[in-house]
């Protein structure tokens, strides 16, 4: 079996939970609350070496108290764990995964052949390259600037290439440090809150409200059109905002984003704007925060090739830090981000960057839009299905996520019921924050036949 074959097989077999974590219950992980005896755990008669005592050695290093604040595992490995447990229970079931937003369609050849070529080139004298610039290769930075930010005055050197938005979010948190306050939408992509907890920006988790103390949760509901009422939002240093939104699928309008920028300006806050789903936009909403005048002085934008080019495994993203963005003492944020990128990172993979550049050629862009179009058709099918069943359905138009309301039910219960009875994996809304309770997120990434089959099963269950 060739090396790459064995590799591929291993990759396609599942998933992440390699150790047995305790039952995922929303009330908490619990281990950190168990007091440990001061003495070692005990003596065991060891047959092999009768002289030795079997005691558990512990270092004297204290566990990071911020890690202890986290309530459970990161959301998506938990979903994967449940899916795997379900597969074990029903080995013959055809489980369909509409949970984790994982791309399924092959990457267009124009892109993969660029990566293959780059790989083979590394075996040649002319084609070999070692360390790249940590900020990314100039042609790629320039191509991203002109393709996505052409008219907004964002320049090549404002762009920092990375191995993905999730990683960039944590690098931004390192730039900000532990003394900043932050606001998130509620519901929101879990990495914003979790990385904030890990960095020590938050207080303890408050079980009664299911929120971390000191985080400002900006409620986004059907009632407020999934845009927070900023007049009720307290001032924070950092505001995370994702549009088109994961998980609600809602896209903010120009007016709303103008309000947001003004709010940030008034409060001297920094917006971290996550635009990873911008190309899924059907409506005429801004695709970048920098379409809003004044945004360069208050916003950072992060984005990703994951959902555009199926680069979820290939790993490529970018973050825009405008030169105009300054800390309160006038120090440019980009300088600190650059320092983090040079010290805590070593550049995105040169092969992935070659692929990313190919994505922005005319042929590459056309191919990317085709794949995005495919997933958007999937989204339409899912939206129509839930509409036809009489559910209140949100999202779907501007993002590959459908946000379905299940009033009066716990979202984990609905998740379990759907999984048990239709073998379809979804994501419970409460995993994205208390504002997600009562909702289920259905992701539209999947082979067409699986999407259609899943919808058939939903119709069966809910007719």
Q: Nearest approach, Cβ of 218 to other proteins (angstroms)? A: 21
**Residue 33: CB minimum distance to other proteins, A:** 10
The rounded radius of gyration (Å) of the Cα atoms in the chain is 23
- For 179-205, letters b (16+ CB in 10 Å) and e give ebbbbbbbbbbbbbbbbbbbbebbeeb
Q: Does position 336 bind other proteins by CB under 8 A?
A: yes
Among 52, 54, 109, 370, binds other proteins (CB under 8 A): 109
Stretch touching other proteins by CB under 8 A, among 45-53, 212-220, 336-344, 400-408: 336-344
Task: Tell me whether strands 216-219 and 182-186 are parallel, antiparallel or unpaired.
Answer: parallel
Residue 28 as a binder of other proteins (CB under 8 A): the answer is no
Residue 63 buriedness (CB in 10 A; 0-12 / 13-18 / 19+): exposed
42 in contact with other proteins (CB under 8 A): no
Q: Is 20 in the site for other proteins (CB under 8 A)?
A: no
Relative to beta strand 424-425, strand 401-405 is unpaired
Of 23, 27, 36, 408, the one binding other proteins (CB under 8 A) is: 36
| # of chain residues touching other proteins (CB under 8 A) | 102
Token duo for residue 183: 């606001």
In the list 10, 27, 51, 151, the residue contacting other proteins (rule: CB under 8 A) is 10
Q: To the nearest whole angstrom, how small is the minimum distance from the Cβ of residue 214 to other proteins?
A: 17
Q: Report the residue from 82, 166, 211, 287 that binds other proteins according to the rule CB under 8 A.
A: 166
Stretch that binds other proteins, among 174-182, 205-213, 239-247, 385-393 (CB under 8 A): 174-182
**Does 74 participate in binding other proteins (rule CB under 8 A)?**
yes
Tell me how far apart the alpha carbons of residues 179 and 452 are, in angstroms, rounded to a whole number: 48
Element (H, E) at 10: helix 3-12
How buried is residue 413: exposed, middle or buried, by Cβ count under 10 Å (0-12/13-18/19+)?
exposed
Q: Is 104 in the site for other proteins (CB under 8 A)?
A: yes
Contact flag: residue 102 with other proteins (CB under 8 A): yes
Tell me how far CA of residue 304 lies from CA of 308, 381, 459, in angstroms: 7, 25, 34
CB of 4 to other proteins, least distance (A): 4
- Return the residue of 48, 49, 61, 88 that touches other proteins, per CB under 8 A: 61
Q: Does 18 bind other proteins (CB under 8 A)?
A: yes
Q: Tell me which of 25, 343, 373, 461 binds other proteins, using CB under 8 A.
A: 343
Q: Using CA atoms, how far apart are residues 35 and 83, in angstroms rounded to an integer?
A: 32
Sign, CA dihedral 174-180-181-183, equals: negative
From 239, 278, 298, 348, residue interacting with other proteins (rule: CB under 8 A): 348
Cα angle at 363 between 358 and 369, to 5 degrees?
Answer: 95
What x-and-dash track marks residues 179-208 binding other proteins by CB under 8 A?
A: -----------xx--xx--xxx--------
Applying the rule CB under 8 A, the residues between 223 and 242 that interact with other proteins are: none
Position 330 contacts other proteins (CB under 8 A): no
Asked whether position 67 contacts other proteins by CB under 8 A, the answer is yes
Sheet (strand 427-428) strand order: 393-395, 401-405, 439-443, 427-428
Asked whether position 70 contacts other proteins by CB under 8 A, the answer is: yes
């Amino acid at each position: 079996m060739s090396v790459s074959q064995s590799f591929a097989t291993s990759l396609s077999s599942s998933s992440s939970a390699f150790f047995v974590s305790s039952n995922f219950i929303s009330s908490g992980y619990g281990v950190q609350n168990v007091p440990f005896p001061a003495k070692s755990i005990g003596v065991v008669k060891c047959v092999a070496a009768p002289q030795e005592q079997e005691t558990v050695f512990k270092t004297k290093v204290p566990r990071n108290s911020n890690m202890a604040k986290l309530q459970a595992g990161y959301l998506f490995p938990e979903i994967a764990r449940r899916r795997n447990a379900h597969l074990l229970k029903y080995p013959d079931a055809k489980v369909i995964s509409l949970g984790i937003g994982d791309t399924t369609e092959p990457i267009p050849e124009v892109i993969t052949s660029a990566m293959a070529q780059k790989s083979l080139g590394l075996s040649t004298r002319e084609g070999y390259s070692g360390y790249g610039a940590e900020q990314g290769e100039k042609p790629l930075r320039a191509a991203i600037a002109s393709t996505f930010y052409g008219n907004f005055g964002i320049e090549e050197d404002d762009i920092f290439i990375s191995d993905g938005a999730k990683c960039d979010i944590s690098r931004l948190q390192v730039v900000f440090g532990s003394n900043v306050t932050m606001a998130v939408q509620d519901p929101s992509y879990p990495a914003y809150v979790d990385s904030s907890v890990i960095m020590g920006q938050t207080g303890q988790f408050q079980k009664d409200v299911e929120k971390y103390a000191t985080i400002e949760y900006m409620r986004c509901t059907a009632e407020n059109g999934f845009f927070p009422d900023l007049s009720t939002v307290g001032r924070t240093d950092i505001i995370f905002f994702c549009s088109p939104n994961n998980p609600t699928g809602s896209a903010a309008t120009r007016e709303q984003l103008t309000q947001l920028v003004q709010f940030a300006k008034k409060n001297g806050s920094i917006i971290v704007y996550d635009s990873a789903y911008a190309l899924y936009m059907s409506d005429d909403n801004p695709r970048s925060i920098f379409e809003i005048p004044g945004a360069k002085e208050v916003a950072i934008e992060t984005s990703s090739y994951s959902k555009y080019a199926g680069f979820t495994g290939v790993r490529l993203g970018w973050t825009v830090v405008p030169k105009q963005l300054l800390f309160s003492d006038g120090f440019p944020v980009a300088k600190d981000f650059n320092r983090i990128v040079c010290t805590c990172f070593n550049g995105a993979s040169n092969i992935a960057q070659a692929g990313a550049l190919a994505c922005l050629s005319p042929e590459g862009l056309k191919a990317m839009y085709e794949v995005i179009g495919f997933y958007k058709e999937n989204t339409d099918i899912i939206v129509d299905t839930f509409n036809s069943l009489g559910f209140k359905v949100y999202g779907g138009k501007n993002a590959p996520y459908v946000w379905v309301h299940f009033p009066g039910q716990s979202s984990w219960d609905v998740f379990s019921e759907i999984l048990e009875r239709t073998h379809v994996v979804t994501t419970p809304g409460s995993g994205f924050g208390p504002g997600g309770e009562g909702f289920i997120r259905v992701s539209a990434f999947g082979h067409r036949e699986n999407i259609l089959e899943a919808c058939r099963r939903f119709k069966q269950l809910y007719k």
